[in-house]
Amino acid sequence: MSLPYAPRFAYYDGKLQSGSSNSSFQTINPATAEPLAQIHTTTNAAIDAAVASAQKAFPAWSATPPIERARVLQRAASILRARNDELARIETSDTGKPFSETSTVDVVTGADVLEYFANMVGSGGMNGETTQLRPDAWVYTTKNSLGVCAGIGAWNYPIQIALWKSAPCLAAGNCMVYKPSEFTPLHAQVLASIYAEAGIPPGVFNVVQGGGEVGAYLTKHPGIAKVSFTGQVSTGRKVAGSAAGEMKYVTMELGGKSACVILPDADLEQAVDGAMMANFFSTGQVCTNGTRVFIPEAMKAGFEKLLLEKIQHIRPGDLQDLATNFGPLVSKPHYEKVKSYITHGIENDKARLLCGGAETPSWLTNHTNKAYQNGYWVQPTVFTDCTDDMKIVREEIFGPVMSILTYKTVDEVVARANNTDVGLAAGVFTKDLNLAHQVIAKLEAGITWVNTWGESPAEMSVGGWKMSGVGVENGKKGLEAWVKNKSTLVEMGGVVPTVFAKL
């Protein structure tokens, strides 16, 4: 049986490597549970070859003037934008996200980051600093490329995350061996071809395919100088530990259990809209989602009433229809995981189910595309009367499951919001900007919003606190994660300072 997409292989030395595998698996369309493509797992020998290809390319690419690297990356950004809808449809097939989302967010924001870092290095972003220490001595610093870096992608924003990693990596003069998630691997080979079309030399951007064993081998590889990983906390800890043990640079963007704090004076409609974006966008499969929604006791009834009205505007259905704004979960294992959390919330945590639940969505039985009945669809679910000790409140579900909690005072809600091992994101809704800044300053999270949720532009450095990560991505600080600095002191006095002079 022919599949909708061509087989995926490793890519290095500037071309597909059909002999790089001795096993394969199928990637699945989450909307229908039907296979999309055959993915050929990269062997250890082929990973070695991909790293060697990058090592061979590194001296010339790192020596290429930044302005020339910038021009190549700008061309790649233009190609991405020209092919936006084609790439978005691939993402929709692979992730289950509606085309209304992938066509306006995923490719667009990835191209923005690529252009941002191209412009940064093209306008002096790789320049160091010079300091006159004294009249006859100077200190200068330089920013140097790291070498060959490993990028390990996540399944929820495949091409966006691939660009978030490769853009600053390549702009800084490094080469990359990139492994996409085995659940959403279709984009990687296409991105490699776009980079090649733009003029990226062979070996600068390479792709390996497979599951955790491929990522583990790549992370430990002696030819890798840095590992950049996006994923869940438990996996990130293993990756970080492995990389640190080899004295590699690391960037880790991990999970969260973020607090969405509705302050007492907040506009009710804005609060509901923000909470819905913080829970149901991308079917809840966003690491920064604000799944702990804290409401003042006096606002709870009004909030829930308006939420139930607005939740009717969540529209699952044909993923290619621009009116659809809610898709399935990404895979069967994740589908089973999310459903088990919903069941636990009902049966064990005894939270009150305001809407949704673990049952099959009713609209599926009447949908014209009968294949959708086999997909990984769940209902947007809201629990209320929640307490901080409930499992659904403490653990990251990574699905469209909102937990509503009430509070009495601002000091109380800040303390409860911070009572977690993770600190990826947080946000507040209020009309009082002075209060907003005061509360945001106390929230222990690396990404925060006021009166909005989720936007993460190229200019905004993002990274987690606590167990949610190490380092940042994007923004001016994002480039620093991909360079090593050298400091040099130059003495021009004509005499070497010494304590060993003759007395």
What are the catalytic residues?
A: 253
Backbone angles phi, psi at 270, to 5 degrees: -65, -40
Burial class (CB in 10 A: 0-12, 13-18, 19+), 248: buried
- Alpha-carbon span 195 to 202, nearest angstrom: 10
- Alpha-carbon span 51 to 246, nearest angstrom: 16
**DSSP codes joined into one string, 227-287:** EEEES-HHHHHHHHHHHHHTT-EEEEE-----EEEE-TT--HHHHHHHHHHHHHGGGG--T
Q: Taking CA 134 as the corner, what is the angle to CA 132 and CA 140, rounded to the nearest 5 degrees?
A: 30
For residue 150, the cross-strand partners are 177, 227
The one-letter amino acid at 187: H
H/E element holding 186? helix 186-198
* Token pair for 149: 């870096």
Q: Token match 């010339």: residue?
A: 60
What is residue 402's three-state secondary structure?
strand
- Alpha-carbon span 112 to 91, nearest angstrom: 17
In sequence order, the 6+-apart residues with CB closer than 8 A to the CB of 56 are 203
Specify whether the CB–CB gap between 339 and 378 falls below 8 A: yes
* Token pair for 305: 């009433």
- Alpha-carbon span 120 to 171, nearest angstrom: 8
